Chain A
Amino acid sequence: MGEPQDCFARLTGVKRRFGAVIALDGVDLEVRAGQRIGLVGHNGAGKSTLMNILAGAYAPNEGRLFIAGQEQPDYSVGRAQQLGVCCVFQELSLCPNLTVVENTRVTHRALRGPGWRGKARALISGKLDEIFPGHSIAASTLVQDLGIGQRQMVEIARAFTETETPARLVILDEPTSSLDGHTAAQLLSFLRHAAAGGISVILISHLLGEILENSDTIAVMRDGRIVAEDRASAFNRDKLVQAMGTEESPAPVPQSVTAARAQSSVRVRARPGRQTSSREVVAHEGEIIGLAGLAGHGQTDLLRAIFSASSRRSPDVTLVGTVALVAGDRQADGVFALWSVADNITIRSLGRLTRGGLISPSREQALSDHWRDKIKIRTPDMGNNILSLSGGNQQKALFARALGSDAAIILMDDPMRGVDIATKLEVYDIIRREAHSGRTFLWYTTETDELSVCDHVYVMRDGAIVAEMDRSELSEAAVIQSSFKGAG
């Protein structure tokens, strides 16, 4: 850390309201050159708003903003770019219809005139190679053809590309949430390297371990304010959770007494499309089955195959019961952007909510209110548009959609990305209870912590199952080992 060096950015008394909601209630923050600040807080604590203010996307209602030693009264996205401030947003901000090279051009006005394409290609390929050695992303690929993890890698690399102005401050909102352990480690080591070179980094993450290990200073936000700020070494996991204001540490959930695997009836039997051996994923009634491995190795495809088998017969999949899917890429596959929160929750259950052939508004409301309370969706009115919710709360609504349905089998496509730790614990709890009452879960996750909730874990590599382990045999080392080298 060293002595306080020159201050690159300073916020004093910054306030921001959205209608009646106070998102930021007087924030003071100082960012020094080469400093890595970890920013934590619950969903809706104001982290994303703070980031948007630094990026120039929102103007503060009150307060002052100093960047590079000067007050910035007319701060805008363009001004932020000139000063070398850039952001990696949680909602991916790439254009899917453009190639990786063309997306690089979108953020760089200097890339123009004859030969701009070649310059952009060199820029983005160079950064990808530097941050994620061994990545398999071709610069001429359309972004829509990339997996979500690869898109996140492109987005991160793009934030560090430099044309006219060097990057001075990079703000990353949940950058590792779509990355697997290997690429996340590559990114974090790059951040350390970049900070040593004088670039300031603000890292927003719900993974407290990641924050503790990769920041110089940690700032904790709650209710639109910074409630604690200190050197990272002064914090530990418990202190952070306490500062974030979790009401109480959730009581340990009774571990469901797992019946021996063979005893309950089989609900799902599925063989990945690219499996050459006879291995298959088997899920019994009341089980939570984890799908592990590096991101993009066929887990999502397997879940989709199982999901489509519910409406169309497939030789590789046997299903007993109805299926619901909790999408991972919530913007693309999850939310109905023009609908209210309530409508987004009840869509899967409309068949049950009718009276005399028409949808009954009272039943609809009862269902959505029940889940608002059960899963704690933070909104003043369930009739509000779904996009008025923070990212984590949108994801909760998608959970409510699946859990509120009559589905016996619930498929989860890494749905916990960008969800804060308190919510995660609540949802794990609900999942365990639902499993206890007979529901079956198939859960693809990139976080090893979540695998420990599962009864049985299958590890996938290159679109096939390469290993399986019971909860008793599960360890991070075992999962990583089989993710990288084929075992079967």
Chain B
Amino acid sequence: MSVPGKTTFHFSSMGRTLLPAFSLLVVLGGIAWLNPRAISYFGFNLMLNLAIPMVLATLAQMFVITGNDLDLSIGPFIGFAACVSATWLHDAPLVGIAILICAIGAYAAIGALIYLRDLPSVVVTLGMGFVWQGLAILVLPQPGGLAPDWLVTIMGIRPPFVPFPVLAAIVLAVVVWFLLERTSYGVILRGSGGNPVAVRRAGWSLLKLKMTLFAVAGLVGILSGLSLVGLTTSADANIGNGYTLLGIAGVILGGGEFTGGRVSPVGAVVGALTLALAASPLLTFMHIPPDWQIGANGAILIVVLTARVLVSRRQGLT
């Protein structure tokens, strides 16, 4: 701490950015070692098949974490968005768009409620999770529906040389990084997580900032639901449930922290990709039977997150 700022800064901030990349490389290395043929254009397209919704879900969660909150409703919300896209958006696009816009408004309103009543976000969003789940079942009681053609077309793009999920992840990382890390308003959004009192004293409305963060999370969540339907071509009310906790894990794996506005968009994208790869491709190549894969998944998460904590603690000591 007492070391002149410059050296400390370079060392620890390098660690913060490099660690997520390192865990991704470890997972990739494992896959390459077990099955070298997977490291190819088609291999990545297959392995990262469901990575785009996962990356978007992680980014949505990241915006909420930026303001020191947690969103336990993002998974069911993504499911709801998917169900709306597979029904209304296909049958009556204008109604579908209106519903989705209202959903973003609802997210902003949840943010306002949490701020104004000083409620724990975990409780409010846990409740909202059931609401979104119920709405999704109302919209689509049985699995089914049909994805709008344009969505399927977009998600079916096969660009030359670079697999689409990789390209999309890079574009998303750069766009969100620019918005949150480089723009002057992104600074205020992150500041509202770092020291809310200071931001309020400087004349900013914490209410507006909280509503913005939640509205953006809602928007990105809807994009996640849309991309999911574009890939699966139909929907199911439970389709997004797993994204709540995987999104949180992705943010933390990517170098973010639960409090203090310390998040990294690039890290979150890398974290989401790591989880997507570690989830099923790596385990399948390791010949772990499907019955054990979810448990093994959890074990990998614990190992990776522990490594993260150990490395950052060591840096804290230097």
A301, B185: Cα distance in complex, Å: 36
Set A76, A93, A298: member contacting B195, Cβ < 8 A: A93
Question: Closest B-chain residue to A101, C-beta based?
Answer: B187
Q: Report whether A141 and B9 are in contact in the complex, using a CB–CB cutoff of 8 Å.
A: yes
Q: Report whether B6 and A136 are in contact in the complex, using a CB–CB cutoff of 8 Å.
A: yes
On whether A297 and B2 interact (CB within 8 A), knowing A76-B203, A142-B13, the answer reads: yes
Closest CB-CB distance, B183 to chain A, in whole Å?
Answer: 8
**Chain B residues whose C-beta falls within 8 Å of the C-beta of A136 in the assembled complex:** 4-6
20 contacts between A and B (CB under 8 A): A77-B203, A81-B202, A89-B201, A93-B198, A95-B194, A95-B198, A96-B195, A97-B193, A98-B191, A103-B191, A106-B191, A109-B203, A111-B184, A142-B9, A145-B9, A145-B13, A297-B2, A298-B2, A299-B2, A301-B2
Residue B8, interface by CB 8 Å: yes
Question: Closest B-chain residue to A301, C-beta based?
Answer: B2
A77, B193: Cα distance in complex, Å: 20
Q: Report whether A97 and B188 are in contact in the complex, using a CB–CB cutoff of 8 Å.
A: no
Residue B12, interface by CB 8 Å: yes
**Chain B residues whose C-beta falls within 8 Å of the C-beta of A142 in the assembled complex:** 9, 13
Residue B1, interface by CB 8 Å: yes
Residue A452, interface by CB 8 Å: no
**Chain A residues whose C-beta falls within 8 Å of the C-beta of B12 in the assembled complex:** 145
Closest CB-CB distance, A387 to chain B, in whole Å?
Answer: 11
Q: Report whether A150 and B190 are in contact in the complex, using a CB–CB cutoff of 8 Å.
A: no
Residue A455, interface by CB 8 Å: no
A138, B5: Cα distance in complex, Å: 7
Residue B199, interface by CB 8 Å: yes
Residue B163, interface by CB 8 Å: no
Question: Closest A-chain residue to B185, C-beta based?
Answer: A112
**Chain A residues whose C-beta falls within 8 Å of the C-beta of B26 in the assembled complex:** none
Question: Closest B-chain residue to A102, C-beta based?
Answer: B187
Chain B contacts with A in 168-204, Cβ cutoff 8 A: 182, 184-185, 187-188, 190-191, 193-195, 197-204
A136, B1: Cα distance in complex, Å: 13
A41, B190: Cα distance in complex, Å: 37
Residue A105, interface by CB 8 Å: yes
**Chain B residues whose C-beta falls within 8 Å of the C-beta of A107 in the assembled complex:** 202
**Chain A residues whose C-beta falls within 8 Å of the C-beta of B4 in the assembled complex:** 136
Residue A116, interface by CB 8 Å: yes
Set B1, B195, B198, B201: member contacting A147, Cβ < 8 A: B1
**Chain A residues whose C-beta falls within 8 Å of the C-beta of B187 in the assembled complex:** 98, 102, 105-106
Chain A contacts with B in 423-454, Cβ cutoff 8 A: none
Set A77, A117, A140: member contacting B201, Cβ < 8 A: A77
**B-side binding surface: helix, strand, loop or mixed?**
helix
Residue B255, interface by CB 8 Å: no
Residue A478, interface by CB 8 Å: no
A137, B260: Cα distance in complex, Å: 22
**Chain A residues whose C-beta falls within 8 Å of the C-beta of B261 in the assembled complex:** 95, 97-98
Chain B contacts with A in 1-60, Cβ cutoff 8 A: 1-2, 4-6, 8-9, 12-13
Q: Report whether B201 and A105 are in contact in the complex, using a CB–CB cutoff of 8 Å.
A: no
Interface string of A289-310 (1 = CB under 8 A from B): 0000000111111000000000
* A81, A95, A299 — most chain B CB neighbours (10 Å): A95
Closest CB-CB distance, B256 to chain A, in whole Å?
Answer: 11
Chain A contacts with B in 142-193, Cβ cutoff 8 A: 142, 145-147, 150
Chain A contacts with B in 56-111, Cβ cutoff 8 A: 57, 76-78, 81, 87, 89, 91, 93-98, 102-103, 105-107, 109, 111
Q: Report whether B193 and A146 are in contact in the complex, using a CB–CB cutoff of 8 Å.
A: no
Residue A113, interface by CB 8 Å: yes
Chain B contacts with A in 251-303, Cβ cutoff 8 A: 260-262
Residue A55, interface by CB 8 Å: yes
**Chain A residues whose C-beta falls within 8 Å of the C-beta of B203 in the assembled complex:** 76-78, 81, 109
Q: Report whether B2 and A106 are in contact in the complex, using a CB–CB cutoff of 8 Å.
A: no
A297, B3: Cα distance in complex, Å: 8
Considering only CB atoms and an 8 Å cut-off, how many residues of chain A contact the other chain? 43
Q: Report whether B199 and A95 are in contact in the complex, using a CB–CB cutoff of 8 Å.
A: yes
Q: Report whether A147 and B6 are in contact in the complex, using a CB–CB cutoff of 8 Å.
A: no
Residue A463, interface by CB 8 Å: yes
Query: Chain A residues in contact with chain B, CB under 8 A?
Result: 55, 57, 76-78, 81, 87, 89, 91, 93-98, 102-103, 105-107, 109, 111-113, 116-117, 136-138, 140-142, 145-147, 150, 296-301, 463
Closest CB-CB distance, A102 to chain B, in whole Å?
Answer: 5
Closest CB-CB distance, A302 to chain B, in whole Å?
Answer: 9
Q: Report whether A95 and B2 are in contact in the complex, using a CB–CB cutoff of 8 Å.
A: no
**Chain B residues whose C-beta falls within 8 Å of the C-beta of A109 in the assembled complex:** 203
Chain B contacts with A in 115-137, Cβ cutoff 8 A: none
A146, B200: Cα distance in complex, Å: 22
A81, B204: Cα distance in complex, Å: 12
Set A76, A103, A138: member contacting B6, Cβ < 8 A: A138
Q: Report whether B190 and A97 are in contact in the complex, using a CB–CB cutoff of 8 Å.
A: yes
A105, B185: Cα distance in complex, Å: 9
**Chain B residues whose C-beta falls within 8 Å of the C-beta of A116 in the assembled complex:** 184
Q: Report whether A97 and B262 are in contact in the complex, using a CB–CB cutoff of 8 Å.
A: yes
On whether A146 and B5 interact (CB within 8 A), knowing A77-B201, A95-B190, A97-B190, the answer reads: yes
A93, B4: Cα distance in complex, Å: 21
Q: Report whether B2 and A296 are in contact in the complex, using a CB–CB cutoff of 8 Å.
A: yes
Interface string of B235-262 (1 = CB under 8 A from A): 0000000000000000000000000111
* B13, B190, B193, B194 — most chain A CB neighbours (10 Å): B194
A299, B1: Cα distance in complex, Å: 11
Chain B contacts with A in 195-248, Cβ cutoff 8 A: 195, 197-204
**Chain A residues whose C-beta falls within 8 Å of the C-beta of B197 in the assembled complex:** 91, 93
On whether A140 and B9 interact (CB within 8 A), knowing A76-B203, A96-B260, A147-B2, the answer reads: yes
A11, B16: Cα distance in complex, Å: 49
Q: Report whether A150 and B193 are in contact in the complex, using a CB–CB cutoff of 8 Å.
A: no
Q: Report whether A97 and B260 are in contact in the complex, using a CB–CB cutoff of 8 Å.
A: yes
Q: Report whether B194 and A98 are in contact in the complex, using a CB–CB cutoff of 8 Å.
A: yes
A93, B202: Cα distance in complex, Å: 9
On whether A301 and B198 interact (CB within 8 A), knowing A78-B203, A97-B260, the answer reads: no
Set B5, B13, B204: member contacting A150, Cβ < 8 A: B5
Given contacts A57-B201, A93-B202, A95-B261, 20 further A-B contacts (CB under 8 A): A77-B200, A77-B201, A77-B202, A89-B201, A93-B195, A95-B195, A96-B195, A102-B191, A103-B191, A105-B188, A106-B191, A136-B4, A145-B5, A145-B8, A146-B5, A147-B2, A300-B1, A300-B2, A301-B2, A463-B2
Q: Report whether B9 and A138 are in contact in the complex, using a CB–CB cutoff of 8 Å.
A: yes
A57, B200: Cα distance in complex, Å: 9
A142, B13: Cα distance in complex, Å: 9
